Chain A
Amino acid sequence: MSELLVIAPLLIPLFALIACLIPGLGRGTSDAISLGAAVLVLLTASFLFAGVLAEGTRTLRVGAWVPPFGIVLVVDTLSALMLWISAFVAMVVLMYGVRAKADEDAPGHLHVLLHGLMLGVNGSFLTGDLFNLYVWFEVMLISSFILMVREGKRSQLPGGLTYVILNLLASAMFLCGAGLLYGKLGTLNLADMAQKLGALKDPELVNSSGALLFIAFAAKAALFPFHFWLPASYHRAAPAISALFAGLLTKVGVYALLRLFTLVFTAGHGFSTGLILNLSMATMVLGVLGAVAQYNIRRLLAFHIISQIGYMTAGLAIGGKVALAAVVFYVLHHIAVKSALFLVGGVLEAKTGTGDIRMHGGFYRNSPMLALCFLVPAFSLGGIPPLSGFWAKLNLLQAGVNGGHWLFLAVALVVGILTLFSMIKIWNESFWKAAPETGFSPSDPTPGRPMLALCMLGSLTLVFSLGGSFVFKFAQRAGMELANPDAYIQAVLRGGGS
């Protein structure tokens, strides 16, 4: 039974995907199946998380192959946390309503793509095998490619093509890295790799594979200088879809970086982390400067994703359990906040018919609840105490002080101010100033239950904020596990949990 629980986050989306393919399924039925599956994944993830907290890392040997042969699924605290938050975001996005006007007569196929995406995302969090990670990445990417351009609007295609081409290049780099690593080590199991690398006399030779894999993950995570696809494409997808992408896709890249660069390519194995810190700082600065110049609300927010990714990878580069715990908390906070902001952007676009915030106005007076739903995540992103972004940044800065990274501290603080500046820019333009006298030309009415979805994400942010120390305990546990990978290796190779 407990083995089934480990693989359930893959099986449920898969079955939902197949169910939505049934021809003649009504619109309501497919919506219900989809939402039901998302709720079920959330429940499973909660059980799994409770199980990991109680009994430690769990593994499932697929097909009963003994590691290092075959594929092994692993759930440690980090995987469980990521599974939970991604299931939560997926559920909220489905509640928000993913249907655009064009989908009235095609009931199921949107949900097929969404669950394909979640299948890939969950698989990436679960797998303990490098090549399997590649396959899950591709599952996730092909779904996201189609979701990105499926409305077929003229404006979507060029951005979608940029996204597709750059991600194909990244996948090629991933394969090169994985292939060369296999040639050197003769294994694809991550835990076994770590062990074999430790015993190797010339581990610096794998720096080439490490660099290739770093490029691949950095491109998925939108790290400088591999970030150009993100602001070109995210704001062109449908609002609910772009919220899902903004919350999850780049964070899968960050998760892969966290996993590989604490387990396999560590400083102890001769891999240099100095480059990661410098790239992170460049990412933080360039992302936020890009945002300052933008007036399209979702494009502005997309630049902020890049800048925030820099904080996360900087924590990874600093290393040690304090920094890694801060990174885990940062990722959790960021997923909740960013999805909420993209959804608010979607509501505003639906109400005004444009994403240009200079044409907005008056929403503080007209819809105060929407303003509140923007204000909480926006201030959290800017790092105003006592919201979750403040705790995330505080812990990261603490780790920076401990490690003596003064340049990083200066950059982080300046970028924090600039982040707040562009959040206030949206606030002033969309909410605070008077509505334009010409009035709005609303596009499609907002589908589904947007306020419910926004309130749920807002309350999750409040939980991360006010219950910061409670949530941070889990992050600390995950950080501890990442900083001491021996337990992970033992659990995978000797079998743990089940």
Chain B
Amino acid sequence: MNLMLATLIGLLFAAATYCLLRRNLMRVMIGILLLGHAVNLLLMSASAPLAETPAILGSDGKPVPGMADALPQALVLTAIVIGFGLSVFTLVLARSCFQGARIDDVRDLGREDEP
């Protein structure tokens, strides 16, 4: 399971990097979305080795065996919500960039700044 997860995360990071290096703005957007998934899975898997026993105790006052650490899951949930909001905003921004300034190539983003 850990190996599968690690491979998946690696693949997602590779795909995200590939898309981010493209010049087409839409592909960059896809890259950002993929990167978000890769990071969330990484956060999730950080809790897998369970180096520390989780803060949840059973009724006998001892850590419950086989219990996952709840904190990383809470963190991932927060990260997903934030990532969702930001992705939507970025997509809208990219769309208005295309509609207003006719830009769909990242090289054109800095065009008007030439001194």
Contact = CB atoms under 8 A, between A and B. Distances in A.
Interface of A: 69, 131, 134-135, 138, 141-142, 145-146, 149, 152, 154-155, 157-162, 164-165, 168-169, 171-172, 175-176, 178-180, 182-184, 186-188, 231-232, 293-296, 299
Contacts of B103: 157-158
Given A135-B82, A161-B97, 5 more contacts: A142-B85, A142-B86, A146-B89, A159-B110, A175-B42
Contact of B39 (A179, A183, A184, A294): A179
Contacts of A154: 100-101
B115 A172 contact: no
B113 A232 contact: yes
B87 to A, nearest CB: 8
B8 interface: no
B90 A168 contact: yes
Nearest to B94: A161
A69 B25 CA distance: 42
B46 to A, nearest CB: 3
For the complex, would chain B's binding face be called helix, strand, loop or mixed by DSSP majority?
helix
Interface in B87-115: 89-90, 93-94, 96-97, 100-101, 103, 108-113, 115
30 contacts: A135-B82, A138-B86, A142-B89, A157-B97, A158-B97, A158-B101, A158-B112, A160-B93, A161-B90, A162-B109, A164-B86, A164-B90, A168-B32, A169-B32, A172-B36, A175-B43, A176-B42, A179-B39, A179-B42, A179-B43, A182-B43, A182-B46, A182-B72, A182-B75, A183-B46, A186-B52, A186-B69, A188-B71, A231-B113, A294-B115
Instruction: List 7 tightest A-B contacts by C-beta distance, closest first.
Output: A186-B52, A183-B46, A179-B43, A158-B109, A179-B46, A157-B97, A175-B39
Given A165-B28, A295-B115, A157 B93 contact: yes
Contacts of A179: 39, 42-43, 46, 72, 75
B47 A183 contact: yes
Interface of B: 20, 25, 28, 32, 35-36, 39-40, 42-43, 45-49, 51-52, 55, 69, 71-72, 75, 78-79, 82, 85-86, 89-90, 93-94, 96-97, 100-101, 103, 108-113, 115
Contacts, number: 111
A171 B86 CA distance: 11
A164 B71 CA distance: 28
A154 B112 CA distance: 11
Contacts of B78: 131, 135
A160 B47 CA distance: 36
A25 B20 CA distance: 43
A178 B43 CA distance: 8
A349 to B, nearest CB: 16
A293 B36 CA distance: 37
A231 B114 CA distance: 11
A218 B97 CA distance: 27
Contact of B110 (A145, A158, A172, A183): A158
Nearest to B49: A183
Given A165-B28, A175-B43, A175-B79, A158 B111 contact: yes
Contacts of B89: 142, 145-146, 164
Nearest to B108: A158
A419 B109 CA distance: 28
B42 A180 contact: yes
Given A138-B82, A175-B79, A182-B71, A164 B93 contact: yes
B79 to A, nearest CB: 6
A183 B68 CA distance: 13
B63 to A, nearest CB: 12
Contacts of A160: 93
B97 to A, nearest CB: 5
Contacts of B71: 182, 188
A456 B67 CA distance: 58
A233 B98 CA distance: 17
Nearest to B44: A179
